[in-house]
Every structure is written in C-alpha cells, then in structure tokens.
C-alpha cells in the first residue's frame, strides 16, 4: 500500500485519480503536479506547480516529496520520457516509457504492433510526404469496396488530427493537406477504412505482462447533442455499458490487451501503465480503433468512482512489474452506475474564453454529485471561488442504482452550475443501447492470435 503518491497532470482525470487515492486508507498525501487550486481542495491533496513535461523536474519533485509511486495522467509527459526518467531514478511509476508511449503518439506504429500481435484494427495504410497519389489511390480502393475513409495525422494531435470523411470527394480533397511539407521517409498520414458502430473504452492496468481491466466506459466525443458538431477531447461518459458486459470485457483483454502486451515485451519495450483500447463495436464484433497509453478523460471521472476498495496497491504492483498471480482479471466494482457530464467554456474546442466566474459548484456537490476540476483557476471573489481557465472546465459525475438514475443525478447537478457561455451536452447516456447488442458484438471481430 503506497502512503504517498504523485499524480502528474492537472485535468479532470487527474482530479479523479487524486480524489480516489486520497480517500483510500493508508494514504497520507497525494501530490498533484501541476494540479490546480480546485484539485487541491480535496483533503490530503497538495498541488505543486511544475512543468509536467520536464522529466528532471518531475524526478526532483518525486524525491523531494518522498512519494512511493508516481502515476502519470496525460500522454504528453509520457511522450517526452517522464516515465523513463523516473524509472532510471528507481522511482516506481505507472505509465509507459517513451518508446511504448508510441502506441498512442504514432497511429502507424500502433497498426504495426497490432498487426504483429494479431489484433484486429480497421484496414489501413500509412503514407509519408510525397505519397499523395498513393494515398488517394487507397481512398479509391476503399470506396470501391463500399467503405468510407478516415484520415489520421500521425503524431499527437489532442483528438483533433482525425477526420471521418463523409464522401470519396471530401477524402480525396483532404488528403494533400496532411502531406504537404512532410518528410518523405516518415509516415504522416494513416488512412483507415471507416467502421460503424458504438464506441467503447476498455482500460486495463498493466505491469508489462499482466492486465487487470477497469470497468468499461463510453465517451461522447462530439461537441453537440446527437453526436453533431466538431470532435472534442470528450464531452461526457458513462459506465457500465449495456452492450459490453463483464464477460465481453474479459474477452477484450484476451483479444487486445494481452497480445499487445506480449508483442511490446517481445520488442524489449514492455508496457507498464494504463492501456486504453478504444473500440468500435461493429456488427462483426469489436475492432480496435486506437490505443491510448493512459486513462481516458472523461472516462476516468466515471470509472474511478465505480471502483470498490483500494486501487493504490494494484497501481503500485503494476508500476513494479509485479501484479500478483491470481489477481482477478477485473478490478472489483461497486454496484450501480456513473454518468459524467463535461462542462466546457465558451469557444471550446477552439480557443476557449478564460476568466468567466463559475457559480454553483457547492450546490452541485451538496446534491451528492462529484465535481472534478479541469480548466479552472481560483478567484478571490467570492473567497474560494473559481473561474474558467481552459476548454473543458469541469466534469460533473452523478451516481445511481442504474444508468438512468446516475444520468438524472448528473443532469440535476450540472443544472446547478453556471457561467457565461457554458457549453454542455444534454444527452450523455440518454440513448442507451439494448443489452442484446452485446450478443452481436462478440466473436468474429477481434482476431485472437492463432
Ligand atoms: P482516434 O483518435 O483514432 O480514436 O479517432 C478519433 C475518433 O474518430 C474516434 O473516437 C472515432 O469516433 C473516430 N474514428 C477513428 N477511427 C475510425 C474508423 N476507422 N472508423 C470510424 N470512425 C473512426
Ligand atoms: N476520452 C478520450 C480520451 O481520453 O482520449
């Protein structure tokens, strides 16, 4: 059981992590860096300003705070080697080394690893600068087979580098924009066959070889109700999923997480951290759309409140590469459901307006909802108040006996919060799939390696 933990990051996901850990018996302090004034309102949580993308600064803070475990929230610090530096300093860290983080930072690398591991993804090809002709030809091949194209920039793009095209003409017209001024020897664009179905996030805590699943969740990525408007980092989430039950989650571990872990270990770059499989539940079964190398945001804000008992010991064991044999394949969960609604600032997902005073956080909490801070800043007036300071500002999580009750709780609490220009969806967890859909989401899809 760790007693002191450092959480790297400062968004809603990191607030949820800090909240969960700080409430566990045995925890004396959770340091969040950079965190925020809002996150630091949790008991036993301290925020320390720091550049989370400076590996040496993170190591120095971990040492100075005598933490026994570091959990890295966002992908950016992982992609610059924060976990490598902590490991080199002998500090247990849950989060992959830079090389393993390429599963998220490079779509082309993810496809290579998945293919080697026998994990089904959408049909795809990668193209470098100067290959616009070949890329357009591939779009035409997909179209001839009746499939649309999804264009993905290779490299981190904060959820904004993907275009799901609506027509052959649109795809052909957009291809060159991904390839101009890009080198001829590195993939710049991955083109995928467009799949359809509902998405699901299955995130597992991994120690290099073993994987333990957190409850499945579903994000709502578009800005507006009925999945309209631009893609965002995520506007709300719910858990559990009627169409991906516990048995299906375990099959996903077998079909995705474990083969990926085995392939990464075989390459000499074992994966320790949260392995996030972004799935499309197609009529032929689940297919892997993407891997993230961290918890999801806002998924974490609905997943972590559902976890029963302590998480700290499992996170530490995974960081040490030593999840005990015999650990159940799924983290124990509380009965019931959680629904999280993201409240975003005016202008999001473009340039968000900052400085709008936020009202109603205490009123939302008084109803029993969890309010996780992301883009907020402390304000002196009223004392202890907060203002907007980023795109996604808060996540309001409601809990209940089932998804309908949790949704009601989240909606009511979100209604209590207001600021000028607040944007949010009103249909998070409103259109639930039938449990029957789970039955179609089974076997054919994910190729279990022979
Ligand atoms: P990614 O960053 O790869 O997860 O893509 C962002 C979003 O684009 C996903 O959450 C899906 O909504 C959508 N998307 C990605 N790949 C595909 C695909 N092959 N078919 C349909 N939609 C996709
Ligand atoms: N909610 C999607 C993500 O964290 O990437």
- 171-to-9, 16, 166 alpha-carbon distances in Å: 36, 39, 8
316 lines ligand 1 (CB under 6 A): no
Q: Are the beta carbons of 65 and 8 closer than 8 angstroms?
A: no
Question: How many A from CA of 345 to the centre of ligand 1?
Answer: 24
| Residue 43 belongs to domain with CATH number | 3.40.50.20
Q: Is residue 65 part of a domain?
A: yes
- Residue to probe by mutation, ligand 1, list 109, 142, 145, 164, most atoms within 8 Å of CB: 164
Hey, whose CA ends up nearest to atom 5 of ligand 1?
162
Pocket of ligand 2 (CB under 6 A): 219, 234, 292, 296-297, 299
Distance in angstroms (rounded) separating the CA atoms of residues 53 and 50: 9
Specify whether 321 is located in the same domain as 366.
yes
Specify whether 189 is located in the same domain as 204.
no
Hey, whose CA ends up nearest to atom 8 of ligand 1?
162
Predicted local confidence at residue 445, as pLDDT:
43
- Number of domains within the chain: 3
Q: Is residue 445 part of a domain?
A: no
**Beta strands at 124-128 and 69-72: parallel, antiparallel or unpaired:** unpaired
Specify whether 335 is located in the same domain as 285.
yes
Question: How many A from CA of 156 to the centre of ligand 1?
Answer: 14
Question: How many A from CA of 344 to the centre of ligand 2?
Answer: 15
Q: Which residues contact 133 (CB under 8 A, 6 or more apart)?
A: none
Q: Residues in the chain, how many?
A: 450
| Full domain range(s) for residue 40 | 4-95
Q: Is residue 450 part of a domain?
A: no
| Residue 222 belongs to domain with CATH number | 3.30.470.20
Q: What does pTM read for this prediction?
A: 0.94
Specify whether 318 is located in the same domain as 383.
yes
Residue 180: φ, ψ to 5°: -65, 140
Specify whether 410 is located in the same domain as 338.
yes
152 lines ligand 1 (CB under 6 A): yes
User: What is the edge-to-edge ordering of all strands in the sheet holding 93-94?
Assistant: 45-47, 29-34, 4-9, 69-72, 93-94
- Residue to probe by mutation, ligand 2, list 17, 159, 291, 428, most atoms within 8 Å of CB: 159
Give per-residue pLDDT as tens, 240-290: 999 999 999 999 999 999 999 999 999 999 999 999 999 999 999 999 999
219 lines ligand 1 (CB under 6 A): no
Q: Which ligand is nearest to the CA of 298?
A: 2
pLDDT tens per residue, the chain (450 residues)?
899 999 999 999 999 999 999 999 999 999 999 999 999 999 999 999 999 999 999 999 999 999 999 999 999 999 999 999 999 999 999 999 999 999 999 999 999 999 999 999 999 999 999 999 999 999 999 999 999 999 999 875 544 588 999 999 999 999 999 998 888 988 899 999 999 999 999 999 999 999 999 999 999 999 999 999 988 999 999 999 999 999 999 999 999 999 999 999 999 999 999 999 999 999 999 999 999 999 999 999 999 999 999 999 999 999 999 999 999 999 999 999 999 999 999 999 999 999 999 999 999 999 999 999 999 999 988 888 999 999 999 999 999 999 999 999 999 999 999 999 999 999 999 999 987 555 444 443 443 332
Question: How many A from CA of 298 to the centre of ligand 2?
Answer: 7
Hey, whose CA ends up nearest to atom 15 of ligand 1?
289
Looking at 143, 159, 193, the residue that finishes a domain is 193
Specify whether 417 is located in the same domain as 321.
yes
Specify whether 157 is located in the same domain as 237.
no
- Residue to probe by mutation, ligand 2, list 17, 297, 304, 392, most atoms within 8 Å of CB: 297
Q: Are the beta carbons of 71 and 8 closer than 8 angstroms?
A: yes
| Residue 129 belongs to domain with CATH number | 3.30.1490.20
Q: Is residue 71 part of a domain?
A: yes
- 343-to-37, 201, 203 alpha-carbon distances in Å: 18, 21, 23
- 77-to-21, 51, 221, 312 alpha-carbon distances in Å: 21, 9, 23, 21
Specify whether 42 is located in the same domain as 165.
no
On the 0-12 / 13-18 / 19+ scale of CB atoms within 10 A, 57 is middle
User: What is the edge-to-edge ordering of all strands in the sheet holding 385-388?
Assistant: 357-358, 385-388, 376-379
Q: Is residue 150 part of a domain?
A: yes
Specify whether 299 is located in the same domain as 428.
yes
Question: How many A from CA of 381 to the centre of ligand 2?
Answer: 33
Predicted local confidence at residue 393, as pLDDT:
98
Angle between helices 107-117 and 258-266 (to 10 degrees): 100
191 lines ligand 1 (CB under 6 A): no
Structure tokens at 399: 């809990």
Distance in angstroms (rounded) separating the CA atoms of residues 17 and 35: 11
Question: How many A from CA of 169 to the centre of ligand 1?
Answer: 19
**Which of 131, 241, 250 lies closest to 197, judged by CA?**
241
Specify whether 300 is located in the same domain as 417.
yes
Give per-residue pLDDT as tens, 113-157: 999 999 999 999 999 999 999 999 999 999 999 999 999 998 755
Distance in angstroms (rounded) separating the CA atoms of residues 358 and 36: 15
First to last CA, the chain: 38
Structure tokens at 322: 């030593």
Q: CA angle 371-82-217, nearest 5°?
A: 40
110 lines ligand 1 (CB under 6 A): no
Q: Which ligand is nearest to the CA of 150?
A: 1
Looking at 153, 174, 193, the residue that finishes a domain is 193
Structure tokens at 390: 């980023």
Q: Which residues contact 344 (CB under 8 A, 6 or more apart)?
A: 223, 232, 235, 352, 391, 392, 393, 422, 423, 424
Q: Is residue 396 part of a domain?
A: yes
Question: How many A from CA of 409 to the centre of ligand 1?
Answer: 30
Specify whether 42 is located in the same domain as 150.
no
Looking at 193, 217, 246, the residue that finishes a domain is 193
164 lines ligand 1 (CB under 6 A): yes
On the 0-12 / 13-18 / 19+ scale of CB atoms within 10 A, 361 is buried
Q: Is residue 114 part of a domain?
A: no
Please write down the HEC assignment for all residues of 236-275: EEEECECCECHHHHHHHHHHHHHHHHHHHHHCCCCCEEEE
Q: Is residue 102 part of a domain?
A: no
Predicted local confidence at residue 434, as pLDDT:
84
Question: In sequence order, what DSSP letters do the residues of 15-27 get, joined into one string?
Answer: HHHHHHHHTSTT-
104 lines ligand 1 (CB under 6 A): no
- Residue to probe by mutation, ligand 2, list 239, 276, 302, 428, most atoms within 8 Å of CB: 276
**Beta strands at 69-72 and 93-94: parallel, antiparallel or unpaired:** parallel
Specify whether 189 is located in the same domain as 248.
no
Question: How many A from CA of 168 to the centre of ligand 1?
Answer: 17
């Amino acid at each position: 059981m760790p007693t002191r933990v450092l959480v790297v990051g400062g968004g809603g996901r990191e607030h949820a992590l800090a909240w969960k850990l700080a409430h566990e018996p045995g925890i004396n302090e959770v340091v969040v860096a950079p965190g925020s004034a809002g996150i630091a309102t949790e008991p036993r949580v301290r925020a320390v300003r720091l550049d989370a993308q400076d590996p040496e600064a993170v190591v120095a803070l971990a040492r100075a705070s005598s933490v026994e475990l570091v959990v890295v929230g966002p992908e950016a610090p992982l992609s610059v080697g924060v976990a490598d530096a902590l490991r080199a300093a002998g500090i247990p860290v849950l989060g992959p080394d830079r090389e393993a983080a390429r599963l998220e930072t490079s779509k082309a690398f993810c496809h290579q690893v998945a293919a080697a591991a026998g994990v089904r993804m959408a049909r795809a090809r990668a193209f470098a600068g100067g290959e616009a002709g070949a890329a357009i030809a591939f779009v035409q091949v997909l179209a001839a087979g009746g499939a649309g194209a999804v264009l993905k920039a290779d490299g981190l793009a904060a959820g904004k580098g993907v275009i799901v095209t609506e027509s052959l003409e649109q795809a052909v017209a957009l291809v060159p924009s991904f390839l101009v001024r890009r080198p001829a020897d590195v993939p710049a664009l991955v083109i995928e066959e467009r799949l359809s179905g509902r998405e699901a996030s299955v995130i597992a805590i991994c120690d290099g070889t073993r994987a333990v699943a957190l409850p499945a969740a579903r994000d709502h990525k578009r800005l507006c109700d009925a999945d309209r408007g631009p893609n965002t980092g995520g506007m709300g989430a719910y858990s559990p999923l009627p169409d991906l039950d516990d048995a299906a989650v375990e099959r996903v571990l077998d079909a995705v997480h474990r083969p990926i872990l085995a392939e990464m270990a075989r390459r000499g770059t074992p994966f320790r951290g949260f392995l996030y499989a972004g799935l499309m539940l197609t009529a032929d079964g689940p297919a892997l759309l993407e891997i993230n190398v961290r918890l999801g945001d806002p998924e974490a804000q609905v997943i972590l409140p559902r976890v029963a008992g302590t998480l700290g010991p499992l996170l530490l064991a995974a960081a040490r590469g030593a999840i005990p044999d015999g650990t159940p394949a799924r983290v124990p969960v509380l009965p019931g459901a959680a629904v999280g609604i993201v409240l975003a600032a005016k202008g999001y997902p473009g340039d968000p307006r900052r400085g709008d005073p936020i009202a109603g956080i205490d009123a939302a909490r008084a109803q029993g909802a969890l309010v996780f801070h992301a883009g907020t800043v402390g304000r002196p007036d009223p004392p202890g108040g907060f203002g907007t300071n980023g795109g996604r500002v808060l996540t309001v999580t409601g809990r209940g006996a089932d998804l309908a009750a949790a949704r009601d709780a989240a909606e009511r609490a979100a209604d209590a919060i207001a600021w000028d220009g607040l944007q949010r969806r009103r249909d998070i967890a409103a259109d639930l799939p039938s449990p029957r859909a789970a039955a179609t989401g089974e076997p054919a899809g994910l190729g279990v390696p022979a």
